[in-house]
């Protein structure tokens, strides 16, 4: 990732997505297997994808929540062009009944390499 001289500029370019997938009944195990493959590909080939986490909800076993953090818009475009992502997108319809995507603009963070610092002075 190219280092930005201006922390505020870097912070504004980083953004995330929260994606909620409602799964078809009985598809959670197969969806999770597909996600393990996808996340392995992201880890291996996407250094500008700063975070990519898949969560199951305790109270809703047929729901998955993704948290994705990208260095910038170009990093998202790179993510969407990857073979692993294309493979996932081609198959996701087999497992889900609905998808809700929310775009996030990073304000502050900690614990994520490459993300904007939790506090600036």
**For position 12, what pLDDT does the model report?**
54
The Cα 24–Cα 22 span in angstroms is 7
Which pair of structure tokens corresponds to residue 49?
Answer: 């994808």
Q: At 114, give phi and psi (nearest 5°).
A: 90, -10
- Residues of the chain with pLDDT below 70 are 1-12, 116-121
The Cα 92–Cα 32 span in angstroms is 11
The Cα 103–Cα 71 span in angstroms is 14
Q: At 100, give phi and psi (nearest 5°).
A: -125, 125
Cα radius of gyration (the chain): 15
């Amino acid at each position: 990732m190219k280092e930005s001289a201006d922390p505020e500029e870097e912070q504004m370019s980083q953004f995330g997505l929260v994606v909620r997938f409602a799964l078809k009944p009985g598809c959670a195990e197969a969806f999770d297997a597909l996600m393990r493959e996808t996340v392995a590909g992201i880890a291996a080939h996407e250094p500008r994808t700063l975070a990519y986490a898949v969560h199951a909800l305790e109270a809703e076993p047929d729901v998955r929540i993704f948290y994705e953090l990208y260095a910038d818009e170009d990093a998202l475009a790179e993510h969407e062009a990857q073979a692993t992502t294309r493979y996932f997108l081609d198959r996701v319809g087999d497992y889900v009944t609905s998808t809700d995507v929310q775009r996030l603009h990073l304000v502050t963070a900690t614990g994520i390499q490459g993300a904007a610092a939790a506090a600036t002075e």
